[in-house]
Amino acid sequence: MKRQNIILFYLVALLLHGGCQAPENPDWQHLDPQKDGVLGISTTRTYHELLKNRQPTAVIVAVLDGGTDTGHDDLMAVRWINEKEIPGNGLDDDGNGYIDDRYGWNFVGVPDSSLKFDNTALTRLVRQGKKRFGQLTAQTVPIRDRASFDAYQVQLTAFEKARRKAREQLEQLQQLKTCLDKMVQQLGKTAPTLQDFRDFLPHNDQENQVRSLANAKMKRKTYAEFYQEDILERLQQLQQQLAYHYNLEFVPHGAIDSTDNSTALWTGNPDVKGPDAMHGTHVAGIIGASRDNAAGIQGIAGHVRLMPVRCIPNGDERDEDVARAIRYAVDNGAKVINMSFGKYYTSNKSLVDDAVRYAMAHDVLLIHAAGNDGCDLDKQPHYPNPFYSDGDKAAAWITVGASDQTDDETLKAPFSNYGLTQVDVFAPGVRIRSTVPDGGYKRLDGTSMAAPVVAGLAATIRSYYPALTARQVREIILKSAVKYQGLTGRCVTGGIVNAYTAIQLAEQYKR
């Protein structure tokens, strides 16, 4: 097989890795395994049978993310409002240290602008290492610096491998796109169907591989969705990785690569939407999009106030920003914090640990996405995590993997990270429909979608059972998870969260 064909073969395998083939169900995360035969979390059944005519209290849920469009029709009624702050007057009316934070705060920026792109944490570590060790070798480095020098060498190797992988994948996907465009031209249709690709007779190995990819993806997508999401958007992601994430020459305006805990990287601003609010708006909708407006979608939680706290750029989040975002959320009343982000390298873990301890001391439950690299987190550390550097562990933290809707080999989403001790539970995270900026809706995949399902469930429990502590709510969610053989050994519980069983268990805790 020619090298070009081998490259395409491996790229198709990579894309197929994320291609689940269960039948589509609209808004399936709300459905019930018993009544609907779909492995949702029974939200609709729970509200109709267990929570009907009951009076809850609103719970503040902080959305730590890349920005949220609070003006979306499905989010405006449930957005958190800092009533003590007069918007736009340039004053810190409530004296909390943040000027005009009417709807939340943006930690990724300076007073007059918002940062969009940043490096990966690995890139920042390598840049620091080059400054420190760039002119040294194993023979010339001082003995006192040998451990740090060796760590830098490992990081440099990992960085070069990651950058090379991104470059190769970009070249491969460009070849795949060229082949796909020619095939569609041969089909003579601007919107070919799944059957069109099945009927297509390939002329070579490349066309055969591309046809296989289209056949897998279009079982759950239209051609337009497949082309946009799996070709164009993926191309853009890879281009951004090379231009920003893995580019040692790119340093965001105002950034300081420092391990000095006292260094403030950004002063921030009240622009909670930021330059790209797709991800955060989608996450927010999953948690608490209005359930009673007879339009759009319904969030998991029916009585929430969503607090956007922007701390994630297009790239890896900085520990300083995450730590301050957690503290901001806690200080402003959040009882649940959703964190649909993560990375594999950290430079200031102690800062985040201290902020997590602060959240624990204030009875706040933290929900974190497990990540989307198909990794076993028992073998590959992922940050942030509930394990403090001193060996202790946060007691009110849930790490969430992504599941699909049928009890078969696709139950664990292929992209989802897992781990018998590091991942607590799974939740729906494939083809989840939710809000996107400027009034739209879109289906997305990821543990980023699974975590807010759990955050919404946690908020629901806390709104109907406000006397329960964050630790108790965590315990209820994990104990009430419905177990499946396909998740045995993949997480602590071996199951998927379920609202119906969770509310039943919460009632027992209340008594």
Domains, in order of start, for the chain:
57-118+270-510 (3.40.50.200), 121-245 (no CATH)
For residues 138-161, give the mean pLDDT. 96
Kindly list the catalytic residues.
Answer: 65, 279, 448
Give the CB-side neighbour count of residue 346, counting CA atoms within 13 A: 21
Structural contact between residues 472 and 316, judged by C-beta atoms closer than 8 angstroms: no
Task: Check residue 11 and give its pLDDT.
Answer: 54
Task: Check residue 359 and give its pLDDT.
Answer: 98
The yes-or-no verdict on residue 22 having pLDDT over 70 is no
Task: Check residue 510 and give its pLDDT.
Answer: 83
Burial-class residue 125 by CB neighbours within 10 Å (0-12, 13-18, 19+): buried
Q: What angle do CA 321, 376, 336 make, to 5 degrees?
A: 40
For residue 432 the two structure tokens come to: 């989840």
Condensed to tens digits (0 to 9), the pLDDT of residues 414-472 reads: 999 999 999 999 999 999 999 999 999 999 999 999 999 999 999 999 999 999 999 99
What is the spatial distance between Cα 186 and Cα 204, in angstroms, rounded to a whole number? 14
Condensed to tens digits (0 to 9), the pLDDT of residues 30-61 reads: 999 999 999 999 999 999 999 999 999 999 99
Q: Which amino acid is at 436?
A: V
Task: Check residue 169 and give its pLDDT.
Answer: 97
Condensed to tens digits (0 to 9), the pLDDT of residues 299-345 reads: 999 999 999 999 999 999 999 999 999 999 999 999 999 999 999 99
Structural contact between residues 273 and 67, judged by C-beta atoms closer than 8 angstroms: yes
Task: Check residue 255 and give its pLDDT.
Answer: 65
The yes-or-no verdict on residue 20 having pLDDT over 80 is no
For residue 445 the two structure tokens come to: 């995949």
Could you give the angle at which helices 447-464 and 278-288 cross, rounded to 10 degrees?
40
Condensed to tens digits (0 to 9), the pLDDT of residues 63-93 reads: 999 999 999 999 999 999 999 999 999 999 9
108 phi and psi angles, rounded to 5 deg: -105, 75
With bands split at pLDDT 50, 70 and 90, how would you rate the model's confidence at 408?
very high
With bands split at pLDDT 50, 70 and 90, how would you rate the model's confidence at 262?
very low
